[in-house]
Amino acid sequence: MTDRYAVVGNPVAHSRSPSIHARFAEQTGQDIEYLRLLAPLGGFVEAVERFRDAGGRGLNVTLPFKREAFAWAARRSERARVAAAVNTLRFDRDGAWGDNTDGAGLVRDLEDRLGLALAGRSVLILGAGGATRGVVGPLLEAGVARLTIANRTPSRAIGLVDGFPRAIAAGRLRGCGFDDAGEGFELVVNATSAGLAGARLPVADALFAGAALAYDMFYAARETAFVAQALAAGCPRACDGLGMLVEQAAESFLDWRGVRPLTAPVYEALRAELAAEAG
């Protein structure tokens, strides 16, 4: 029997997840169908329970419901607990299990596809929202030596890092505003949502001095505003977050099906799809 999955969010029409999971299923021979589920704001739990009661096996959760999914899940992975957010739900006999695969997706894309070993690196993340919350734990676990979270609203970055007291005590983690970020970063990650509006970030070019890579979690058919900003500031290499999207999806697929799909061909297919849409 075909097992049913979906991505739940609001909005959800733009989601690439159905196309990614259809490719994973074809590649691994798994019999699944994967749909889009638009949940009304304030109606997340009802939509999820209806989907589950109709035989659904699991869900990806996207904006703005990741924290609600965390609260609703009966059991959670350690990385979901650290992130206080869930992007993957699996409906087991003993209740819903919640995971957060965003951080693992970023680490895999950086290390495997882009060849940037993270151990010992100095990393700057711009932004302190849900996406940053999901990646701090996995980046620290990957051995990053120094992780700075800089945000437009500094108190939000400081509040976020407060959840990692051991890393703060070890001098590995700090939160601050854009102007106090310091310098000497080898990797600069954009985790703000400014890219949606195509906006340039109000940060100094000096933040990119000496960086080997700038990484935009946002992705688009054309060069993103952050990629353009980093290259103009002298960063030798910059890329968008399409690879992270594919890798976090592969991690969800593994959660559900116990099989890890190959991501490289799916990334290439999606990149071509985006380019074709852009004309």
The residues assigned a catalytic role are 66
- Are 114 and 260 within 8 A, CB to CB? no
Minimum distance between the CB of residue 95 and ligand NAP, rounded to whole angstroms?
26
The number of residues that bind ligand NAP (CB under 6 A) is 28
Torsion of Cα atoms, 128 then 134 then 136 then 137, to 10°: 150
Q: Which of residues 41-70 bind ligand NAP (CB under 6 A)?
A: 63
In the bound state with ligand NAP, the residue whose beta carbon lies nearer, of 170 and 264, is 264
Beta strands in the chain (DSSP E): 3-9, 32-38, 58-61, 75-76, 88-92, 95-99, 122-126, 146-151, 173-177, 187-190, 213-216, 238-239
Least distance (Å) between residue 272 CB and ligand NAP: 18
Only one of the segments 7-15, 17-25, 44-52, 125-133 lies at the binding site for ligand NAP (rule: CB under 6 A); that segment is 125-133
Q: Name the closest residue to ligand NAP (Cβ).
A: 129
Residue 99: what residue type? D
- Which of 102, 167, 213, 229 binds ligand NAP (CB under 6 A)? It is 102
> Residue 59: beta bridge partners?
6, 89
User: In the range 243-272, which residues lie near ligand NAP by CB under 6 A?
Assistant: 244-245, 248
Residue 198 vs residues 70, 193, 218: alpha-carbon distances, Å: 30, 9, 10
Asked if 181 interacts with ligand NAP (CB under 6 A), we say no
Rounded least distance, CB 252 to ligand NAP, Å = 11
CB distance 206 to 235 below 8 Å: no
Among positions 56, 58, 103, 130, the unique one binding ligand NAP when judged by CB under 6 A: 130
Give all strands (DSSP E) within 75-162, no chain letters: 75-76, 88-92, 95-99, 122-126, 146-151
Q: Does 156 bind ligand NAP (CB under 6 A)?
A: yes
- x/- mask, ligand NAP, residues 190-229, rule CB under 6 A, reads -xxxxxx--x-x---------------xxx----------
Burial class, 267, CB count within 10 angstroms (exposed 0-12 / middle 13-18 / buried 19+) = buried
Separation CA 120–CA 143 (nearest Å): 6
| Total Cβ atoms within 10 A of residue 153 | 11
Q: Which is nearer to ligand NAP, 219 or 253 (CB)?
A: 219
Among 128, 160, 225, 270, binds ligand NAP (CB under 6 A): 128
- Nearer to ligand NAP (CB atom), residue 58 or residue 103: 103
Is residue 88 part of the contact set for ligand NAP (CB under 6 A)?
no
Phi, psi at residue 92, to the nearest 5°? -95, 170
Q: Which residues bind ligand NAP (CB under 6 A)?
A: 63, 102, 105, 127-132, 151-153, 156, 191-196, 199, 201, 217-219, 241, 244-245, 248
